[in-house]
Amino acid sequence: MNGGGYRDYFKVLGLERGADADAIKKAFRRLARQYHPDVNPDDKGAEAKFKEISEAYEVLSDPEKRRRYEQFGQYWNQAGGNAPGPAGFDVDFGNYGNFDDFINDLLGRFGGPSGGGGFAGGGFAGGGFPGGGFPGGAAAVNLDAEANLKVSFAEAFQGCERSLQVNQERVQVRIPAGVRSGSRLRLKGKGNLQPSSGRRGDLYLNIQLDSHPVWSLDGDLMRADLPLAPDEALLGGEVKVPTPDGEALVTVPAGIASGRSLRLKGKGWPLRNGRGDLLLTIQLQLPSAPSPEEQELYQQLRAARSQDPRESLFKGAKL
């Protein structure tokens, strides 16, 4: 394929000349998926395009080859280099379980850097790319992989076990009590496989918590709103509230304002050294459909009111 003369490898990959290594890798992965022979059976044009983008990637992903290519143009190969490999080697696609295995191995042969991943091909993929290496050795590759795992608020609070399908293998994962969004769990030896050596990386699970209709997390604090009727807020007293451990009685101070919070120590989120605190934020709740008796009492309350609730507003509004 090299015998056709000069090729603009940047144009082959659809890139500008100043493209960085990450952009080159992403472009190659996208085009390789598009023109892969398994996706285009018996399509000689797609096969030729696949070899062309592989050749372009090998040159542009190698800093020394790229330097010579950008300096000498069509004569770069005579300036101390060797012909690109991908266009000249035969690939037995039957040796790979799926397309991701092939692409990852191919990137490893070129000495490609590791990249992100998620769920793919019926299992977890991404993270790092296995490397086979040409004679003379290849750069070290990262076989670790990572994926996102959503858990419910209850599962995260209590801890649980989840059964996951990882690369055609059923794996039991223990979710410890108290995990939060952003926590990472490591599954040793469950990452990407390097077919040439049998080495296996680790799989990292990034935990994401689903929202809950009542509870929320604020750092180490667990929060919830506590609706109070006007008489409860004015007169105070004991009210029954839910907690993660069941119902509890809390004392509401008389005259508490909406937006203030009550703290229940040790009733919140599981921490390494025990339990965090639970904060209940007061929300004044007016009756949506007051009974005739309630309306009459509110009328009496309005007639007997001794304080203008907007007095400070008018004082502060003067310019």
| pLDDT at residue number 75 | 56
Q: CB within 8 A of 231, min separation 6: which ones?
A: none
Q: Give tens-digit pLDDT for 99-133.
A: 555 555 555 554 443 333 333 333 333 333 333 33
Q: CA nearest 298: which of 309, 283, 287?
A: 287
Q: What is the mean pLDDT of residues 3-32?
A: 83
Least confident interval from 15-29, 63-77, 216-230: 63-77
pLDDT, greater one: 165 or 214: 214
What range defines the domain where residue 224 resides? Answer: 216-316
Q: Is 60 part of a structural domain of the chain? A: yes
Q: Is 26 part of a structural domain of the chain? A: yes
Same domain, 123 and 149: yes
pTM: 0.53
| pLDDT at residue number 119 | 34
Q: CA nearest 225: which of 236, 241, 246?
A: 241
Same domain, 231 and 298: yes
pLDDT, greater one: 108 or 59: 59
Which three-class secondary structure state does DSSP give residue 168? coil
pLDDT-derived band at 65, boundaries 50, 70, 90: confident
Summarize the chain as % helix, strand, coil (round to 5).
30, 25, 45
Same domain, 200 and 251: no
**C-alpha pair distances (Å), 15 with each of 27, 110, 273:** 8, 19, 53
Distance CA 295, CA 94 (A): 80
Same domain, 122 and 204: yes
| pLDDT at residue number 179 | 93
What is the tally of structural domains in the chain? 3
At 89, which amino acid appears? F
Same domain, 243 and 286: yes
| pLDDT at residue number 83 | 46
Same domain, 183 and 238: no
Q: Is residue 35 within 8 Å of 50, Cβ to Cβ?
A: yes
**C-alpha pair distances (Å), 176 with each of 157, 161, 272:** 8, 9, 11
| DSSP tag of 67 | H
Of 118-122, 160-164, 275-279, 303-307, give the range with the top mean pLDDT.
275-279
Distance CA 143, CA 129 (A): 6
Same domain, 143 and 170: yes
Which three-class secondary structure state does DSSP give residue 71? helix
Q: Give tens-digit pLDDT for 132-161.
A: 333 333 445 678 888 899 999 999 999 999
Mean pLDDT computed over every residue of the chain: 79
Same domain, 268 and 290: yes
**C-alpha pair distances (Å), 156 with each of 24, 56, 284:** 39, 47, 30
Same domain, 183 and 126: yes
| pLDDT at residue number 255 | 93
